[in-house]
Amino acid sequence: MASIHTDLTRLLGIKYPIIGAPMFLVSYEALTIAVSEAGGLGMFPLPNYRSLVDLEEALKTIRQATQKPIGVNIHLSGKFPWEEQLAICLDMGVSFFITSLGDPGLIIDRVHQKGGAVFADVVSLNQGIRARERGVDGLVAVAAGAGGHGGRIPTIVLVPYLKEQTGLPIVAAGGVSTGPQLASALCMGACGAITGTRLIASDEARVGEDYKKAVIEAGPDGIVVTDRLTGNNASWIAKSIEGVENGPDLRSKKWKTLWSAGQSVAQVEGIRPAGEIIKEMAEECVLAIKKINQVCIA
């Protein structure tokens, strides 16, 4: 299929404006490789790797399998050795960084020197403006309905709002699991979208079959948003946090049994290879845009 050209694809040198979400305890080497090889941008979060040696080995594995662009989510807080992580990533050719929990300005010069780009996760206009002031190349609009930590503003409102008020490229995050949903994000002014929940139910996601099955079986009303587990609002599959939300504290559960997912579980029907998911999204996106172009305006 032909490429879908947007500011994001031109910036990153990818075929489709689809980013595989860097999901904690979900996105590792196999998923990153599959998404990038399919024409999207594969990503993983740096906190998935306990040591710098583990991170370097993971990147070596990825680079042996693909030379296509990849990205990481970097947490810029005192809890993580982000400076050492950044150095390893830049040495291994990581070209795209999404920042969380800190000042994106800390890494921008070093990333730009290597020809890379830095986007910041934001859930509000205030956060977007602060990130713009620090010199980011774009923003990830983490909207209501997103898996993991997310905001309170729907994607259909947050994306054009940030685009108009900041003038930066905007990547939509929240409720994007299908081609038509990607097309709608592009129509709202996004340069691309992150898909995460759909990829949990992929062959390459490093989670148990029970988690994948729960994503398939859950409906959007089976997603609970609470700040009880982390201190910030995040979306979880309701059945996985029973006994935590209104009962014992987080110590009563292990992280791998706390299943994060977004409301786009509504569009997840089965477990498939991640590459097929990405290519199907792109194909369906093109079809959706063609249908829009056929609408008759009198």
Domain ranges of the chain: 7-207, 210-257
Within 13 Å of residue 251, how many CA atoms lie on the same side as its CB? Answer: 0
Can you tell me the distance from the alpha carbon of 37 to that of 177, in angstroms, rounded to the nearest whole number?
Answer: 18
In one-letter notation, the amino acid at residue 256 is: K
Instruction: Please tell me the predicted confidence (pLDDT) of residue 253.
Output: 60
Instruction: Please tell me the predicted confidence (pLDDT) of residue 2.
Output: 80
Can you tell me the distance from the alpha carbon of 121 to that of 138, in angstroms, rounded to the nearest whole number?
Answer: 9
Say if residues 193 and 182 touch (Cβ distance below 8 Å).
yes
CATH code for residues 7-207: 3.20.20.70
First CA to last CA distance, the chain: 32
What residues does 119 pair with on adjacent strands? 98, 138
Say if residues 175 and 266 touch (Cβ distance below 8 Å).
no
Instruction: Please tell me the predicted confidence (pLDDT) of residue 245.
Output: 53
Q: Decide: residue 124, CB within 10 A, 0-12 exposed, 13-18 middle, 19+ buried.
A: middle
The residues, any chain, with a CB within 8 Å of residue 226's CB and separated by 6 or more, are 233, 234, 236, 241, 245
In one-letter notation, the amino acid at residue 3 is: S
Can you tell me the distance from the alpha carbon of 32 to that of 44, in angstroms, rounded to the nearest whole number?
Answer: 7
Instruction: Please tell me the predicted confidence (pLDDT) of residue 244.
Output: 61
Instruction: Please tell me the predicted confidence (pLDDT) of residue 229.
Output: 80
Say if residues 46 and 53 touch (Cβ distance below 8 Å).
no
3-state secondary structure 13-42: CCCCCEEECCCCCCCCHHHHHHHHHCCCEE
Instruction: Please tell me the predicted confidence (pLDDT) of residue 101.
Output: 87
Task: Going from the first residue of the chain to its last (298 residues), give the mean pLDDT of each consecutive group of 10, the final group possibly shorter.
Answer: 93 98 97 98 97 98 98 92 97 97 96 98 97 98 93 96 98 97 97 98 97 96 87 88 60 74 96 98 96 76
Instruction: Please tell me the predicted confidence (pLDDT) of residue 252.
Output: 67
